[in-house]
Amino acid sequence: WKIGSWEMIRAFRADKEEVNVATFSPDGATLATVGDEGTLKLWDIATGRCRLERPAHRRDAVIARFSPDGRLLLTGGRKYGLLKLWELGRGAEIKSVRAHPREFECAVVSPDGKFLVTTGSGEIKLWEMSRLSLIEEGPRGHVSVQGAAFSRDGTSLAVATEMTRQVLLMDVPSLHLRHVMGGHTEG
């Protein structure tokens, strides 16, 4: 869609069932999609053609995040907690890790591309992005951990919890809990 006029520029048939995530590469030239089929697709924005299609997850893929330099892409499957790192130049999977024992909710890359935070199964985990190696685990006991966001300088992390209706503010990379903020009346 063209912002302002809301004129449709192009439509993609990205999944036979549901598309769960569509995200632009940092340079805006590529769109990555994942959906209920579990397939990763990379689309050329200029032509509308699919330039890469790979089976990524056993159905229900819900995470697609580019590294800030656009060389790497993360995908995640909701029900199995599996996280995959892809090198886009070759279109190849580099590494796969079981990030969470059950459901996977969110994955966010830090502004400098050094860190990755994942949430799921009531857990908050900090990873070294390029190797997908676990660095730290955050405070436990927060049921239904949902979205997360890094501060612009990457030194703070905010995590939303649906059931307790709170936002947890933590230091990076220690994941030391600095503040718990409440006030929302719905999840």
Mean pLDDT by 10 residues, the chain (187 residues): 89 84 94 93 93 90 92 88 90 90 85 91 88 87 76 94 82 93 76
pLDDT score for 152: 95
Note whether 99 and 83 are within 8 A (CB). Answer: yes
> Alpha carbon of 79 to those of 18, 27, 82, 167, 171: distances in Å?
15, 31, 8, 24, 28
| Reported pTM | 0.85
pLDDT score for 131: 87
pLDDT score for 2: 87
Residues 6+ apart with CB under 8 A from 82: 57, 76, 96, 97, 98, 99, 104
pLDDT score for 120: 81
- Rounded distance between C-alpha atoms, residue 35 and residue 44, angstroms: 18
Residue 26: cis peptide before it, omega within 30 degrees of 0: no
Note whether 39 and 64 are within 8 A (CB). Answer: no
Paired tokens of 3: 């912002």
Paired tokens of 168: 């947890």
Phi, psi dihedrals of residue 143, rounded to the nearest 5°? -70, 140
Note whether 20 and 36 are within 8 A (CB). Answer: yes
pLDDT score for 33: 95
- Bridge partners, residue 118, by sequence: 107, 125
Burial of 91 (0-12, 13-18, 19+ CB in 10 A): middle
pLDDT score for 62: 87
- Rounded distance between C-alpha atoms, residue 118 and residue 138, angstroms: 10
Note whether 166 and 159 are within 8 A (CB). Answer: no
